Amino acid sequence: MNPLAETNHQFDITIVGGGMVGLSLALLLAAQRRWKILVLESQSVTGETVSEYSASFDARSTALSWSSRCIFQQLGIWQKIEQHAQAISSIHVSDRGHFGMTRLEAEEAGVDALGYVVENSWLGAVLMQQVAEADVCLQGNTAISAITPKAESMQLEIDVNGQLQQINSQLLIVADGANSTCAKMLGINQHRKAYDHSAIIANVCLDQAHNKVAYERFTDQGPMALLPLTDFKNSHRCALVWTQPSEQATQLMAADDGAFLEALQIRFGHRLGSFKQVGERVSYPLALTTSEEQVRSRLVVAGNAAHSLHPVAGQGFNLSLRDIDCLARCLKDQPGKADVGALAPLLDYQRQRDKDQRNTLMFTDNLSKLFGLTSPAIALGRNSGLLMMDLVPTLRNQFAHFGMGTEQSGVDYG
């Protein structure tokens, strides 16, 4: 549906950004069948593949936590996502060149899987299809030229394929990514701490099956993760996230496939046999960004626009999904005729999410720092920590449940 062909440009909720967070939120809100919802996306939304239109749905894969699985299950789309999701039955954590290692097991944590790895292109395809079937208006090729807070609504001036339009929405949700232009327009400061590291991502083929094991390997140059993917045409595939100083990442991006695989083999070792093939490589400069404000009257900042984390523990999207699940619940709990942009439920949302956000941000930031330090004393300390975790099941369990997103959210995801 082209919503802006209609004459009435009044919406209850407008979401700017049709990435993983914007689309998931649109579905969570549409499930209430209560509001008129608009999603504005800057890219075209009619590409042959979802990666053609959204920065979210590129060559990356996402490790979904148990909490994310539960949220998608509530939405009725988990079965579809699961068709191409690889369950993780154990996570092997090690510190390259040192003695410390531990292994987290799904069975020990009392769950079917510690998480699931899904390619963003598939996740995007499922979300898009669902949004197309839901009562949601999705408009691509939009550029927002002004946002004006009014007493009764947020007023947006937008350019759609060269045509200027005005939209009024009771609530505006900004989910336009880490470099949010909407936040800038609204005068919301975003703090950015560059890590001076980049993550190279690629799918790789190995000559051995991964047996549902995910590897998180800390090295003196930065952490690397090898996440199990579903087999494709009898190839054993894994998703690589290889963090390293940006200068080295640039060199590795320029290397041919053979040289890249050789360097990878040396860094990762032979735990999974030989690396055979590498797909498209993409490099992401890493930074921790946080928005100084997440709610105002008639406004919520969500997803990467609110907080964008180091990918070391695969937490960014999972955290945002718990955020927006909570937001949808807070809005749902308002009486039928209530103004959906009223400040009180938004403040309640922020209060409920504060602890999880702070803990997850601190955890990923500290983890990336701790394993980046080369001092022998610190290396000894962190390896003793890994060893201790390996010996004490309660510690392992706490760590596993943190990654699953079931501990810190305060919501019983089952």
**CA 394 to each of CA 222, 362, 391: distance values in angstroms, whole numbers, following the listed order:** 27, 21, 9
Nearer to ligand FAD, 143 or 342 (CB): 143
The span from the CA of 359 to the CA of 161, in Å, is 42
Of the candidate residues 86, 190, 320, 360, the single one contacting ligand FAD (CB under 6 A): 320
Of the candidate residues 21, 45, 123, 136, the single one contacting ligand FAD (CB under 6 A): 21
The span from the CA of 268 to the CA of 201, in Å, is 14
Q: Pattern of binders to ligand FAD over 139-168, x per CB under 6 A? A: ---x-x------------------------
54 binds ligand FAD (CB under 6 A): yes
User: Which residues 286-315 are close enough to bind ligand FAD by CB under 6 A?
Assistant: 303-304, 311, 314-315
38 binds ligand FAD (CB under 6 A): no
Size of the site for ligand FAD (CB under 6 A): 36
Of the candidate residues 127, 175, 272, 312, the single one contacting ligand FAD (CB under 6 A): 175
**One-letter amino acid of 262:** E
89 binds ligand FAD (CB under 6 A): no
- Cα–chain center distance at 391: 31
12 binds ligand FAD (CB under 6 A): no
356 binds ligand FAD (CB under 6 A): no
357 binds ligand FAD (CB under 6 A): no
- Cα–chain center distance at 175: 12
318 binds ligand FAD (CB under 6 A): yes
Nearer to ligand FAD, 16 or 331 (CB): 16
The span from the CA of 275 to the CA of 122, in Å, is 24
Tokens found for residue 316 = 């960014």
User: Which residues 197-256 are close enough to bind ligand FAD by CB under 6 A?
Assistant: 199, 201, 241
Nearer to ligand FAD, 54 or 383 (CB): 54
20 binds ligand FAD (CB under 6 A): yes
The span from the CA of 221 to the CA of 271, in Å, is 19
**DSSP designation for 337:** T
Of the candidate residues 62, 89, 170, 219, the single one contacting ligand FAD (CB under 6 A): 62
17 binds ligand FAD (CB under 6 A): yes
Count Cβ atoms within 10 A of the Cβ of residue 163 and give its class: 0-12 exposed, 13-18 middle, 19 or more buried.
exposed
Q: Are the C-beta atoms of 275 and 264 separated by less than 8 Å?
A: yes
Three-state DSSP class for residue 31: coil
**CA 118 to each of CA 205, 208, 302: distance values in angstroms, whole numbers, following the listed order:** 16, 20, 22
The span from the CA of 224 to the CA of 151, in Å, is 49
The site for ligand FAD (CB under 6 A) is made up of 16-22, 40-43, 54-56, 60, 62-63, 142, 144, 175-177, 181, 199, 201, 241, 284, 303-304, 311, 314-318, 320
